[in-house]
Structure formats: C-alpha cells, structure tokens
Structure 1
Amino acid sequence: MTRPSEDDLIARYFAPLAGEAGLGLRDDAACLSPKPAHDVVVTTDALVESVHFLPGDRPASIARKALGVNVSDLAAKGADPTGFVLSLALPDDWTEDWLADFVRGLAEAAADFSCPLLGGDTVKTHGPLTLSVTALGEVPAGRMVRRTTARIGDAICVTGTIGDSALGLALRLSPDWADDLTPVERRHLADRYLHPQPRHRLAEALRSHATAAMDVSDGLAGDLAKLMRASGASAVVELAQLPLSAAARKAVDLRPALLDTVVTGGDDYEILCTVSPSRLDSLRKEADSIGIPIAVIGQVVSGDDLPAFRLGESERRFHDGSYAHF
C-alpha cells in the first residue's frame, strides 16, 4: 500500500486541528495578532523516544505529553495559551494507525488546554521518533512571572502532588518494588507519568499573586535550586509538608529510600512558585475556586547554598537534584 504524501498527511490528520490563525495549514506560516497591550510568551520542548517516553507508550499519550509539558511552561509564566506548532520526525516503521491515535490524543489535549494547532513540519527519520512543540501564550504587558524575582521571606508553594510521575516511571521500568500497592494506586502513578496535568487554569492567579515561578519538570530539588539561583537566594523546605498522593505516600512509607525519587525525579509538571505571605491567602482562595490544591512547603531565605530539605532533626541538600541531559 502506498503511504500518503506529506501534503496528504497534513490535510488528513493535522488540518482539522488548526485554529483560525493556522489558516487551515494551507500556507507556509501562521498569522497571529496578540491582544492589545499583551506580550507574547514562547516556549519549546523536544521529546525523544526512550529519553522522554518509552517505545511502548500509546501514541495518544505521547501527543498529550508533548503538548502538556509546553502548556505547563506557559502556565508557570502566568500566560494563557494561544496556540502551538509541531515538528514531528516519524521513524521508518510508522503506520497510519499510529498517526491516527497520535492525532486523537493531540486533538483532545489541544481542546482541553485551549491551545490550537498553528502549523509545523512532518519529516521522516532513520532514528527514533522525535517531536518538538513550540507553544505560544499571552500575558498582559509586563506581567510575565519570572524566575528571577523571588524575595527573601516569600513562602514556597507547589500545586498538586509531587513525585507521582517519577514513581510511575520507576513502576514501568522495574515493577517489583510496587507489589504492595493496589492496582488503583499503580494505575494512578502510571497515569501521572503518561499524562501530565498542566496547571494552565492557574495562570491568572499566578500573575496576580506569585513573585516568581517555574514548573517542576526535572525534579523538585533541582528545579527549586534553579529558581533560587536565578533569584540570588536560597531556600528551606520542610519535607513533612511535601504534598504526596495516597499512592506516593504509601510507596514511601513502605520503602523510605523512594523519598529521594520523589524529591529529585522529574515530570511532575506542577507549578513551583514563591508568594509574599500577604498574598498567600488570596492565591489559595483563587486556586481553591478552580480545584487546584496548593501546599506551602518552605521559605525563601538569604544565601547562595543549595536549598535545604529538612525532616525532623535531619537536613539534606541535593547536589544531583534533578534529571540532566548532559
């Protein structure tokens, strides 16, 4: 059977996903007009098979993750998504069934995140499946939430729960340690790894109340260190205040060594932010109104040391606090 051409693939699979600015994917570029008095925020992430996802992952899950990790970056900047472009390098053994499932997942994610397709490129590769998403968002002029503006005395907060995705990946790679978890608990951890939940609905509250923010993509300890380094400060975190799901808490209770995985593992895609104590109640109230939990886990302090993570009388600083490509 003859495979469709690139033009056929675009018309059949991707054009139906295009937003108005994508011009039906019939042109060489999209055309966007930002809202008056707004800045454009741009972010990009590449995903490579066997690095960012496993070869057996469902195509729809890969698509959702590819878009979700970028929308998470926008959310941490207080930006509302406006669209994305996709570059997709398909390996030699790709099939139309695989592509159809990928596009189904992409369409669902684009609708859920209010982030339509604007364009992109589809090519063939002799290497592993590789895809890159560039997402665009908008913020009122001058209101992007930066990494560099945390202040000493700010509360350190995270949304949702931490460590589920890292445990979900560990479960995929070596499931023996999870024999004592229930099927429901194992499914929860696996789902958090496969399907990030970007906190895009929190964008407005973050730009109103957060002093600094980023998303937790490479690991809480390492990402917090990046945030503090950019702001010229340090931090103290109380591990007892770390928000854990029931599944993660049970896993750590059964095997305390997994706490390191929780703190340093990546792919949480929760929001890590700093907030003035005077704005904390307002942020919590707005987050509660849209069903996003926020936990206070520590405080910004002076200094240039790595963040200190305290548990009872003990204190640790994680020198390898996150995933690193290099």
Structure 2
Amino acid sequence: MTLTRIRAQWERHDERFAAVNGDEHVRVLYDEGSWLEGPAYSPAWRTLLFSDIPDDRVLALDEATGRIGVWRSPGGYANGRTIDRAGRMIQCEQGNRAVTRTEPDGTVTVLADRWQGKRFNSPNDVVEHSDGTVWFTDPPYGILNDYEGHRATPEIDGCHVYRIDPDGSVTRVADDFERPNGLAFSADERTLYLVDTHHRHLRRFDVGADLSLSGGEVLGTSDAGGYDGVRVDDGGRLWVAAHDGLHCWHPDGTLLGKLLLPEVCSNLTFGGPKRNVLYVTATNMLLSVRVTVAGIR
C-alpha cells in the first residue's frame, strides 16, 4: 500500500460547526481490507485495533511507528469492540455469536453468548458503563450468510439491545429496533445514543438510576444511507458513520455538519495521546484525521 492523503471536505450545516475543524488532509493508513469495522484505541498500548470482518482477522495499528499487522486470526468474525477501564479488549464476535473479553495474559473470556438459553444473533457493537456493565447490540448480519459469519437460523425473536452485569447476568434493555447497531453513552452516562440502521435513525434514551432505559425518541435521520457506528466528543456532539462520511449532530437534534469521505463509513473512534485523532473505518480503508475536538474519556 502507498500512503495517500485526501483533502478534507468539511460541510457546514449550522454555525456551531465552525468550532470543528482539523487537518487539511485525511490520511489513508490502510486500504487492503474487505469490510473494515470496529476501531478501538488503547492509550496504554498506543494501538488501534480494528476488524476486517470477511477475512476473519483483527488488525492492529501501532500509532508510534505507523505499522499495521495482524493481531488475531481467526478473529471470530469480530465486529465492534471497546477497551474497558482495566485496559482489556471487549469485542463482539459475529462468528461465535458472543461478546468476549481478552484478559491481560491473552486468554479469552466469554462474557455472554445466550439470552434465556437461546443463542444471540450476531453481537455487533459494544460499550462499557463506568459501573462495569457491558452494553451491546444484536442485529443478524453475521447469520444472514457466510460473508460476515456463519449462516444460521435466528433463535431469538428479533434484534435487540442487551446489558451484561458484572455477575454475568444478561438483561434485555431495548426491544423496539429493527437493526440496532452503534451505541455510545454521553459523558455523564445519563443518556445512551443508539443507531437503528434499517430506519437510518439515531435515537436517544434516558438512563435511569437502575440502568433501565426510557424515552427513545429519534434525534436524527441519515440522508445518506443507514447509520452505523457512533461516538461522542468532549462538546457533547455526536459523530455518526454514514455512506458519505461522518455526520456530526448536536444533542439538541441539529445536524451541525459533515466530514465527507470517499467510501461508505462503518465506524469511528477517537485516539491519540490527546484523543483528538479521528480514526475511521470506511469500506476497505482505515482513515485518520486530527481534529479540534476530542473524544470523551
């Protein structure tokens, strides 16, 4: 691969987006994937992990050297992942229909693979709450065919959102989605943002003291394909992966602007020592751009 750069195209829809800017160019760090997903940044390792789902491998970018190599293969047709507060990697494995955690010694712990005795569809994306609970979405993409997993018949009545408690119990927290996908907490964890890719919706839920969800109103709708991954920056803005790039929403429901990119975007995360580097998985490419905002810690 020859490293290339793409001129950054910032499209402003609201004056408040003027505070958001960044590098003049977006860097193409990698372009040899089939369908890239699930970027998660480890500040301890200064490493970005991301998935090439159809090729069933997890790749790693060493931020200090710029080198990219295979971190795990096979990778369970892994999709979304997060680095928890103990520095461990939690990921959704579509092929194994499970949420797993990689321990410091490299062993893998299955956090959950069933709901009331029935196998999940194909866990897709995951976040951790500060209390140690793990929240994830469960659409069917990994069992629809053999491209991103293993073709199988669903055992669960639909596609839902779940929470794994530290004791291993699993609770269904939302059941009115067609294709739940990306999810992210606000900085104070009083709000959970959830994507429904089928309806192109970005939805907002209130998180109760007992971790129950209420509300669920549509905050925004994509005008460029279905939404996928979502992250929150230190100004409370939401960054959502879409077919034409990244859409930036204010929590009041205003589309502030877009970062237009050349390929369909699946997911994103903030990385770098200051958490001000946007890493984006976009079809076969891993992209990066340094911006004037930072991801929440």
Task: Please report the TM-score for the alignment, with normalisation by the length of structure 2.
Answer: 0.28
Larger Cα-atom Rg: 1
Select the structure with the greater relative contact order (CA < 8 A; seq sep ≥ 6). Answer: 1
Flag the structure with higher helix content: 1
Task: Please report the TM-score for the alignment, with normalisation by the length of structure 1.
Answer: 0.26
